[in-house]
Structure 1
Amino acid sequence: MAEAPWMTIVGLGEDGLAGLTDATRAALEGAEIVTGAARHLALLPGLTAETRVWPVPFADGIAPLLALRGRRVVMLASGDPFWFGAGTVLTRALEPGEWVAHPGPSCFALAAARLGWALESTTVLGLHAAPLARLRPVLAPGARVLVTLRDGAAVAGLAAYLDGAGFGASVLQVLEALGGPQERVRRVTAGVYALTDVRHPVVVGIEVAGDGAVLGLASGRADDWFAHDGQITKRPVRALALSALAPRAGELLWDIGAGSGSIGIEWLLSHPSTQAIGFEGSPERAARARENALALGVERLKIVEGRAPEVLRGQPLPEAVFIGGGLSQALLEALFAQLPAGTRLVAHAVTLESEVLLAQGQAAKGGSLLRVELAEAAALGTRRGWKSAYPIVQWSVTL
């Protein structure tokens, strides 16, 4: 007969004891140890079990918790522990059957109930421990966003961020301590935000408005979204590269010769579960790529400084690889030896020497070889003419 779980995760609301179900009451009454944030423990006066305040940062509490295996432990979390909550982090360290969870209403559900917003058409983000720039891809007039924030100062920071991005006309619904006796909802405009007494926990509903720049949804965003020193895959060519790379949910990209990071960034913008590692030999460009990723809300882009193929050793293997710089026979041979079958490889060449490498690679490995010539209208005296860029050769192949 299987043993009962020793660990119970309880989603606690701001109403404390009043919001407990029969199951959560039974778990607390039978617990030897109850742990959680000091705020959560304060919502449950009269506990007979030993209480332990969960440390900050959150990860520091995992090891002491695991040392309690075999004892009856209740861990308190906010609302639904598995929606931007502690439950997901906690259960990664536990085996199936060791834990059971009793979720409460999430702060997003409570916020939607107060505002009358449809959750299925509202973007929800946990920004209590993430940069505000995570918002950047979803900032468009008419969009509705619900975000959790760390504290009142973070709400002021959010208002300033929106104003600085050209969305100061956005309406902020500031929702404090939802579900409890201290609940409060206030409506303010980001550009004239002046609240100084916002209480934690806080959720903010954003009705986006303003004339700020909107980041498009299709691959091949305008070049001026990326700070660069000229080392950038230009917009039309980038769109072709992303089309050939064909990002899929959960996949990892290697961007070799990352430059401004534009390829890796657009790969990450395609889906929230994608991952990318950019390899760049120049420290200045590597720093710029990190800044671009942060500014566009995909700080999960990992930049590794060094030159390929040496820098590739020991890295997690990708599902797709883009070579935008540093193409050589040694690099191709190293990739062929290292990458598993099924990996998608896309490489660009501008010089005749690099073109030869791609032609030879295509003859040996197959795939598609594409030559792209682009020209833009430009002034030619008092008239206009076509100004051609260097042609690009693209090789795309599934190994």
Structure 2
Amino acid sequence: MSESPWLTVLGLGEDGFDGLSPSGRQVLDRAEVIMGPPRHLSLLPETGAERVEWPVPFSEGLPILKGLRGRQTVVLASGDPFWFGAGSVIARNLDAGEWTALPGQSTFSLAAARLGWPLESTLTFGLHAAPLTRLRPHLAPGAHAILLLRDGKSVAELARYLTETGFADSALHVMQALGGPRENTRTVTLTEALLGTFDHPVCVGLEVSGAGPALSKASGKPDHIFETDGQITKRPIRALTLSALAPQRGEHLWDIGGGTGSISIEWLMCDLTLTATSIEPRADRAERIRRNADALGQDRLNVIHGTAPAALDGLELPDVVFIGGGLDPDLLHWLHQNLPSGTRLVANAVTLESEATLAQWHEKLGGELLRIELAQSAPLGPRRGWKSAYPVVQWSVTL
């Protein structure tokens, strides 16, 4: 670890050098190397420092940056580098004593000030390197969001996506080069966004409107939002299962026998810090899980085509395991022998054989054994009666 920071991550606005604080100007005056994207470098006057363009993709710049150790270096980033910016990536790859940061005014703050929107109740998204489907769980009439987009063409892509999801009445406040001499704000309909041209850097204030379906915030999302071949944990059982899984901030889930992926996808929807791996033995179902995750804005789901327990070797260890398919004594034995103490396990069983397996392991390890029986109304001749579903036995235990 260095005795003093050799690197400063400097937040730069569209007004360039003129918008820097005195401390930011001093940092530039002392810099031996200035590294950043070409657009940011163009906003600064010559200082005598060596200039290094950050390459694309972004990850290729990290080895170059590490090669500058021992020289006073400034990395230029947009606005606040730690709000959907490069700051956190750089910090993860260096020791704490090697770097410091001088954030500038964030694009989100500037956009909220132009629109008069309270940031505490406005959704914020960095979509310059993420799919637009990240918006899907949050699309509901009346929602306000500020979106950072990759480039001017992304405005039309956003308009198409909102139309496809049923929110064609939404309004877009397209803000270009905020905070600089080229600043321009236009409020457009989705049709105007499709026909217009916009310049980078661009962000959009989104006012969601339309008849598109909003997704419930509760566990147990409607079955119809998932593409399925029928192998799905149905909504009421899924809600009870998510309750038993009890997701907590930062935890990782193994969803064994993923089927449609509904459990792991809903797990991820609970909190942005959660992660999950879905393991599915059938290739067609693994592909379907991938499609469902992407369509519902959970592209960070890791999908593994393979059979447990063989497919579990080498995976990031879980905090929680759900077994929705492929339940057998060998799998439970492997989990018991290989997972650390404190790992939570939830397994659902429908067949008599798998029920017997859970009863045996419940006797061995304890935990909670729950029998869930549900019935729905259905036509019975000219009247109605109850049609029972197969009962589900659920075992929950902490190893």
Regarding TM over 0.5, the answer is: yes
- Equivalent position of 2:118 in the other structure: 118
Q: Report the AA paired with residue 146 of structure 1.
A: I
Q: Report the AA paired with residue 35 of structure 2.
A: T
1:45 to partner: Cα distance = 2.5
Aligned residues of 1:175 and 1:203 also touching (Cα < 8 A): yes
Aligned residues of 1:136 and 1:297 also touching (Cα < 8 A): yes
Q: Report the AA paired with residue 143 of structure 2.
A: A
- Equivalent position of 1:326 in the other structure: 326
| Partner Cα separation in structure 2 for residue 229 and residue 30 of structure 1 | 63
Deviations 1:178-217 (A, max 9, x none): 0000001110122553453211111101111111011100
Q: Report the AA paired with residue 204 of structure 1.
A: V
- Equivalent position of 1:176 in the other structure: 176
| Partner Cα separation in structure 1 for residue 304 and residue 90 of structure 2 | 29
Aligned residues of 1:163 and 1:191 also touching (Cα < 8 A): no
Aligned residues of 1:152 and 1:196 also touching (Cα < 8 A): no
- Equivalent position of 2:378 in the other structure: 378
Match status 1:143 vs 2:143 = yes
1:46 to partner: Cα distance = 2.2
Moved over 4 A (4+): none
- Equivalent position of 1:93 in the other structure: 93
Q: Report the AA paired with residue 229 of structure 2.
A: D
Aligned residues of 1:140 and 1:208 also touching (Cα < 8 A): yes
Match status 1:27 vs 2:36 = no
| Partner Cα separation in structure 2 for residue 73 and residue 343 of structure 1 | 44
Aligned residues of 1:277 and 1:302 also touching (Cα < 8 A): yes
Aligned residues of 2:9 and 2:87 also touching (Cα < 8 A): yes
- Equivalent position of 1:46 in the other structure: 46
- Equivalent position of 2:83 in the other structure: 83
- For the residue of structure 2 that corresponds to 1:59, the secondary structure is helix
- Equivalent position of 2:6 in the other structure: 6
- Equivalent position of 1:270 in the other structure: 270
- For the residue of structure 2 that corresponds to 1:124, the secondary structure is strand
Q: CA RMSD in A?
A: 1.0
Q: Report the AA paired with residue 220 of structure 2.
A: G
- For the residue of structure 1 that corresponds to 2:96, the secondary structure is coil
Q: What does 1:156-195 align with in structure 2 at a 5 Å threshold?
A: 156-195=156-195
| Partner Cα separation in structure 1 for residue 165 and residue 182 of structure 2 | 32
Aligned residues of 1:176 and 1:198 also touching (Cα < 8 A): yes
Mean Cα deviation higher: 85-94 or 376-385: 376-385
1:306 to partner: Cα distance = 0.7
| Partner Cα separation in structure 2 for residue 191 and residue 392 of structure 1 | 49
Match status 1:204 vs 2:204 = yes
Deviations 1:204-254 (A, max 9, x none): 011111110111000000100100101100000001100000001100000
1:8 to partner: Cα distance = 1.1
| Partner Cα separation in structure 1 for residue 341 and residue 35 of structure 2 | 48
Structure 1's 192 and 17: CA in aligned 2 closer, same or farther, altered over 3 A? closer
Deviations 1:77-101 (A, max 9, x none): 1000110001111111111111111
Aligned residues of 2:153 and 2:197 also touching (Cα < 8 A): no
Deviations 1:260-303 (A, max 9, x none): 00000000000000000000000100000011001111111101
Q: Report the AA paired with residue 18 of structure 1.
A: D
- Equivalent position of 2:392 in the other structure: 392
- Equivalent position of 1:244 in the other structure: 244
Q: Report the AA paired with residue 362 of structure 2.
A: Q
Match status 1:316 vs 2:312 = no
Q: What does 1:270-349 align with in structure 2 at a 5 Å threshold?
A: 270-349=270-349
| Partner Cα separation in structure 1 for residue 193 and residue 76 of structure 2 | 33
Percent sequence identity is: 59
- For the residue of structure 2 that corresponds to 1:52, the secondary structure is strand
- For the residue of structure 2 that corresponds to 1:39, the secondary structure is helix
Gaps of 5+ in 1: none
